[in-house]
């Protein structure tokens, strides 16, 4: 499964990308996360990106594409990916298509997270975070409750709003999205890759809709590696030959053999003189 998620800020791309990645065993590839990680690790690409940001310039598409290409070479992206946050315009879409063709990983589908702008403004202006535990909430859709206490288990959350989550800034961001990213919808529709999902509602509900939209795309779930166990081969029992007892020689009959013949010969000899004299005197 190789898909791209499109959508305005606050449409839920990041949340749904994580859920898809977990379900189908493919990585979520976020261009923003890749940039932050490269800068934090001071890689060669990260240093280039950092220099551009410190100069107040946008990070070039070449750097972002190089980071994405590098990420897709890892083993866990062998069976697909969920790309979130890129491309943002048609020029980026074309360079992305060429890069993916080079590594033989073309996109299967592009999904638009469709949502009403008024709902987006409500979502984004309602975002809050706890200054103590860092947990995220929305005062309109998911406010803190007794079931979500702060880290000490007793204190209520101390909610703060990000400076760029005010209504004026959000409207400007949505206008930029409409001007630059909206044309991608027609671009991918012309290429017969575009699919759309209603992104309004609970997370679980949107997730079910998204899976239905992607239901015809073949997926390969990577099985978990199980430690192999060596199984000793059982040898077939060998048949033992019956023990052979030594054959007893037949007992010789008495009177047989050379010794017996010698005794017989001695018995046939005439009696000695002194024995015959004894017998004759006894008769007298």
Active-site pick, 2, 13, 19, 128: 13
DSSP state of 17: H
DSSP of 103-129: TT---SEEEEEE--HHHHHHHHHTEEE
The answer to whether 208 is a known catalytic residue is no
CB contact at 8 A, 43 and 49: no
Identified catalytic residue from 48, 50, 69, 88: 88
Q: Is 104 left (phi over 0), alpha (psi -120 to 50) or beta?
A: left
Which residue in 73, 78, 162, 221 is the catalytic one? 162
Choice among 50, 173, 182, 189 that is catalytic: 173
Q: Among this protein's residues, is 13 annotated catalytic?
A: yes
**Whether 13 contacts 201, CB under 8 Å:** no
233 included as an active-site residue? no
The C-alpha atoms of residue 4 and residue 22 are separated, in whole angstroms, by 16
Alpha-carbon Rg for the chain, nearest whole angstrom, is 47
Query: How many angstroms separate the CA atoms of 25 and 31, rounded?
Result: 19
List the one residue out of 138, 178, 207 whose CA is nearest residue 7: 178
**Annotated catalytic, 173?**
yes
CA distance 210 to 201: 12
Q: Which of 2, 127, 128, 195 is catalytic?
A: 127
154 as an active site residue: the answer is: no
Catalytic positions are 13, 88, 127, 162, 173
């Amino acid at each position: 499964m190789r898909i791209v998620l499109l959508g305005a800020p606050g449409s839920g791309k990041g949340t749904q990308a994580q859920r898809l990645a977990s379900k189908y065993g493919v990585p979520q590839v976020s261009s923003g996360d890749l940039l932050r990680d490269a800068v934090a690790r001071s890689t060669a690409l990260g240093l280039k990106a950092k220099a551009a940001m410190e100069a107040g310039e946008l990070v070039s598409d070449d750097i972002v594409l190089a980071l994405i290409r590098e990420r897709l070479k890892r083993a866990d992206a062998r069976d697909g990916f969920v790309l979130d946050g890129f491309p943002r315009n048609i020029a980026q879409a074309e360079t992305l298509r060429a890069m993916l063709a080079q590594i033989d990983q073309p996109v299967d589908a592009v999904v638009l997270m469709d949502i009403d702008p008024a709902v987006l403004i409500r979502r984004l202006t309602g975002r809050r975070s706890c200054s103590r535990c860092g947990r995220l909430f929305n005062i309109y859709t998911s406010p803190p409750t007794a079931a979500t206490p702060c880290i000490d288990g007793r204190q209520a959350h101390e909610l703060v709003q990000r400076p760029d989550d005010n209504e004026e800034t959000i409207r400007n961001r949505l206008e930029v999205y409409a001007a630059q990213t909206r044309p991608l919808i027609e671009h991918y529709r012309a290429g017969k890759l575009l699919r759309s999902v209603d992104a309004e509602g609970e997370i679980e509900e949107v997730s079910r809709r998204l899976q239905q939209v992607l239901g015809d795309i073949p997926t390969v779930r990577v099985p978990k590696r199980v430690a192999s166990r060596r199984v000793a081969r059982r040898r077939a029992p060998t048949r033992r030959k019956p023990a052979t007892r030594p054959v007893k020689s037949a007992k010789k009959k008495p009177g047989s053999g050379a010794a017996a013949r010698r005794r017989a010969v001695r018995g046939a000899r005439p009696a000695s003189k002194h024995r015959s004299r004894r017998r004759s005197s006894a008769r007298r």
